[in-house]
Chains A and B, each alone.
Chain A
Amino acid sequence: MKAILVDVTKCTGCEQCVAACQKAHHLEPEIPVRKLSRDGLSSRRLTTVVALPAGGFAKKQCLHCLEPGCVDACLVGAIQKTSAGPVIYDRSKCIGCRYCMLACPVSIPRYEWEATIPYMQKCDFCQDRVTQGQSPICVGTCKNGALTFGDRDELLALAHATVRREPDKYLDHVYGEKELGGSSVLYITKEPLDVLGWPSQVGQRSLASFTWPVMSKTPVVAAGVATFLIGTHFIIKRRMEIEAAQHREQSPETESTEDDSAENTEDEGGAES
């Protein structure tokens, strides 16, 4: 599985990766949009560079989680995690429900709000390039060596080695190794990366671990409810038949369905055919 390692300490914030990404994805030029979010991501900017509070810059884009919340959320399965690493979006399946946008803990999916027929947009890990054995365009563009592309396992080893070699320069932590169940974009940094939206509440659990335990019970619940209803129906029906039979034995002329729990029987409306 492929991955990108971002060395935050080497990023100068030149945004050449952003420009290259926009060009490679044939995005419309960015123009001021209503209610742009602070990180600057939009349907016309799939990767961005965020200034860190303590100085320095960090690239922000889809993390390509190993167990992505968006993939589980999408009701038509338009978003898929490929075995090669990229989390890709098939717009021909999309209905525009925007649940993926809520499901993503780091708010990556963006919507083409200005379009009459809008689609979701997010980083696709340059899937077409990656399948041809090339690196994503942002990695190829970076002149500062802040981005490295390769196998996830190798990059993890590289990240840990780098961090261990220069303990003054890096936090002893590889972001994306375990967060959200792991992701295909890894970060090493000097400062904590909360600003990128690494969710403190979610921590290392993947979103699927919140939803699948509940979702997987659906057939059991359905079967349980249906069985209970059918059972109740037949039991009560049988009882009523017995009761009616007893009634008929006692007083053959009056035949009415009585409700044993009714407190106020004056207004019976059971006059249906």
Chain B
Amino acid sequence: MITLARLKEVLWVVAVFGAVAIVARLLGGLGAVTDLSDAMPWGMWKILNMVAGVALATGGFALAATVYIFKLEKYRPVIKPAIAVAFLGYGSSCFALFLDIGLPHAIWKPIVFWNHHSFLFEVAWCVMLYFSVTILELAPTVLEKYGFEKWIGLLHKVSIPIVIVGITLSSLHHTSLGSLFLVMPARLHPLWFTSWLPVLFILSAVGAGIFMVVLVSLAYARLYGRPLQLPVLSGLSTAAAVILGLYLVAKAADLVLRHQTGLLLSGQWEVGFFAAEVVLGAVLPILLVAIPATRKSPTGLAVASVSAVIGLVLYRLNVGVTGLLRTSEVAYFPSLTEISLSLGLIAMAGLVLIYLVENYRVFENTPAKTHLVSASAGVRALDRPGRLRVSGSMSAPARISLLVVISASVALAAFSAEAFEGVELDRSPIRPPLGVNKARTVLLINGDRDDDAVRFPHQEHIERLGDDASCSKCHHLNLPGDQSSACYRCHRDMNRKTSIFDHASHVAKLDGNWSCQQCHDAEKPKNLANSKACDECHADDMGLEPPRTGRFDFWARSYADAMHGMCVKCHEEEDQKAGEARLATCQACHGNQHSQEAGSPAEERLGPLTEGETK
């Protein structure tokens, strides 16, 4: 048994999670809070909140057409709830879109920059205009409370033109939302890709949108204990079922005409999603409405409308996400932040709807006074100063405040740190080489451990370059505790990037306190960002090619840069001496990388190999 108080509490908790997620998205950026990638650039926010959210708001224009154009006065009582749902559906969609686009501050740009070839352009304009229409349609309901008779009279005079504009805009963008996916013939699964997408989208949207109005009316009657207008709701459901029937026929005909019925028996996992969408979105609601017993029972209608709404959301998600997964290389599953924001926006819309219903004449028979006073009116939250009484006798505002604080804290803790601080790119450490054998005469240089390794005959190099005396020709600092070489001036330990630069010795060498300006910009804070690049002084030491100037990054760009580029440099010099291209070719080092010894198999065979410090 859901009571109004419980429902509000749940909505508040979800909405708070959403609010924290919104903050995270604005601070951390899209990449930090979502699971989106180049392969799946559109996710839950765009498809569920925007595409499906708008679709579920079609009740507004469908009922406007029924009452104002076809003059079926019987349905007048549900027109205001339908408009309220439309207003919230479009409002929350616009808000979701604002958060979903990479540059929220640029959301106004489609007003100025036009591309009339783009379906998205049409959708953007129609949604913008129709949202304005819903505001105008909702305005009398709000204004009447404050007695703006003149304004209401004016709005009533232009109501028919507004309604006609609204319906026209709706019929345009609800088809265009389907057409958005016409540009993806190679990507979208053939179960869903069809040139009939615009038609299927508007039919399913209108059917489910009307069911949405039925659902809201049923919920209102139940939560606020008001009498049901069952005949009106049955009538609406019948109309919605007829439209969904058309949708079902169109969908079946489309599969047959495209010769894709075989797909249904193909055993692909997409078929399950397709079946769920068809059964929930069309078959079940139609059946429940067709049977007189369920059509005339609130429960039957509730099940039918919930099913239709879920089915519609599933259809949109299938076209926008599920159907694209097979052709995209990368999987997508919404992150916790993404889901929180998505559901949070829906909960916020629910709370606004409750507010509208409780404060304005959205429904003809307004809520009884007893329902407006908090359901569990009780003792004050603070029983004694400083001690919180967490019990059923708390007043509703106190309970909700407590829940808000708790859920905000939980959300802050649950979302990843990345969500607030932005993407911390994984600068994977360059790992020291592995020994191919126990004696480490041959090394496997595999810095990022991705199996693209170079098999480096270390012992052979030592012998060829002059035994122990030769070490300094390449390096010093992989010898633990070595302090005798010139490199020690800068590097304590090459595997520890934090000690790669020795500030103290630079200060000492460059004349103590007067040395700052030799490296740092005098006018700016003295930190890494405002300092000279290492290679401005140490270009020779570092063996860098002249063009590669600028700041020295703390990770190797490629193997060609390994050991400050000395491998490649030395090989080239050797080749010049010999007069033939032998060592300085790709094959010289990389030719054996797919051989038996190379790559991770070596590790498996020889067991764990000693590694130095890896961080």
Contact = CB atoms under 8 A, between A and B. Distances in A.
B557 A29 contact: yes
Interface string A98-122: 1101110101001111111111000
Nearest to B547: A23
A217 B505 CA distance: 74
Given A32-B448, A73-B118, A214-B182, A118 B31 contact: yes
Contacts of A93: 109, 113
B39 A37 contact: yes
Nearest to B67: A270
B102 A98 contact: yes
A262 B74 contact: yes
Interface string B5-45: 00000000000000000000001111110001111011000
Given A201-B186, A269-B364, A118 B29 contact: yes
Interface in A202-241: 202, 207-208, 210-212, 214-215, 218, 221-222, 225-226, 229-230, 232-233, 236-237, 240
B72 A229 contact: no
Interface in B228-263: 229-232, 234-235
B187 A214 contact: no
Given A37-B329, A77-B114, A93-B113, A240 B184 contact: no
Given A97-B101, A269-B76, A210 B106 contact: no
Contacts of B114: 76-77
A118 B183 contact: no
Contact of A96 (B102, B160, B183): B102
A118 B124 contact: no
B422 A116 contact: yes
Given A101-B41, A113-B30, A218-B172, A211 B119 contact: yes
Contacts of A270: 73-74, 76
B171 interface: yes
A35 B330 contact: yes
A101 B180 contact: no
A73 B68 CA distance: 36
A272 B179 contact: no
B39 A107 contact: yes
B38 A110 contact: yes
Nearest to B103: A96
A235 B364 CA distance: 29
A266 interface: yes
B423 A75 contact: no
Contact of B555 (A31, A215, A225, A267): A31
A85 interface: no
A96 B364 contact: no
A251 interface: no
Which residue, of B39, B73, B77, B110, has the highest number of chain A Cβ atoms within 10 A?
B73
B157 interface: no
Given A31-B425, A117-B103, A69 B183 contact: yes
A215 B41 contact: no
Contact of A103 (B30, B184, B427): B184
Interface string A74-88: 111110000000000
Interface in B45-87: 65, 68-74, 76-77
A266 B231 contact: yes
B167 interface: yes
A135 interface: no
Contacts of A233: 68-69, 160, 164
A254 interface: no
Nearest to B122: A218
Interface residues of A, number: 82
Contacts of A211: 117, 119, 179, 182-183
Given A29-B553, A118-B30, A211-B183, A95 B73 contact: no
B110 A214 contact: no
B358 to A, nearest CB: 20
Interface in A8-44: 12, 14, 23, 29-35, 37-38, 41-42
A33 B27 CA distance: 20
B183 A229 contact: no
Interface string B195-238: 10010000000000000000000000000000001111011000
Contact of B110 (A12, A29, A37, A76): A76
- Size range of the chain B interface in the assembly: 35 or more
A225 B39 contact: no
A14 B586 CA distance: 8
Contacts of A269: 74, 76-77, 229, 232, 364
B446 interface: no
A172 interface: no
Interface string B561-605: 000000000000000000000000010000000000000000000
A111 B364 contact: no
Nearest to A35: B37
Contact of A236 (B69, B76, B122, B167): B69
Contact of B38 (A41, A78, A263): A41
Interface in A159-207: 199-202, 207
A250 interface: no
A103 B185 CA distance: 9
Interface in B105-123: 106-107, 109-110, 113-123
A74 B120 CA distance: 7
Nearest to A236: B71
Contacts of A266: 231
A103 B41 CA distance: 11
B478 interface: no
B115 A105 contact: no
B448 A113 contact: no
Contacts of A69: 183
Contacts of B28: 116
Nearest to B555: A31
Contact of B426 (A32, A102, A210, A230): A32
Contacts of B297: none
Contacts of A132: none
Contact of A75 (B102, B115, B175): B115
A31 B117 contact: no
B515 interface: no
A93 B109 CA distance: 7
A131 interface: no
B183 A267 contact: no
Contacts of A267: 74, 77, 229-232
Instruction: Please provide the 9 A-B residue pairs with the shortest distance between their CB atoms, ordered closest to farther.
Output: A96-B102, A113-B31, A269-B77, A264-B231, A199-B186, A77-B115, A116-B29, A35-B37, A76-B113
Given A116-B29, A118-B29, 18 more contacts: A30-B557, A31-B555, A76-B109, A76-B115, A77-B114, A96-B103, A101-B41, A102-B183, A111-B30, A113-B31, A117-B29, A211-B119, A214-B119, A215-B122, A230-B164, A233-B68, A264-B231, A267-B74
10 contacts: A34-B426, A94-B102, A95-B110, A96-B106, A113-B36, A117-B102, A210-B182, A211-B117, A218-B122, A264-B234
Interface of B: 27-32, 36-39, 41-42, 65, 68-74, 76-77, 100-103, 106-107, 109-110, 113-124, 160, 163-165, 167-168, 171-172, 175-176, 179-180, 182-187, 195, 198, 229-232, 234-235, 324, 329-330, 364, 422-423, 425-428, 448, 547, 553, 555, 557, 586
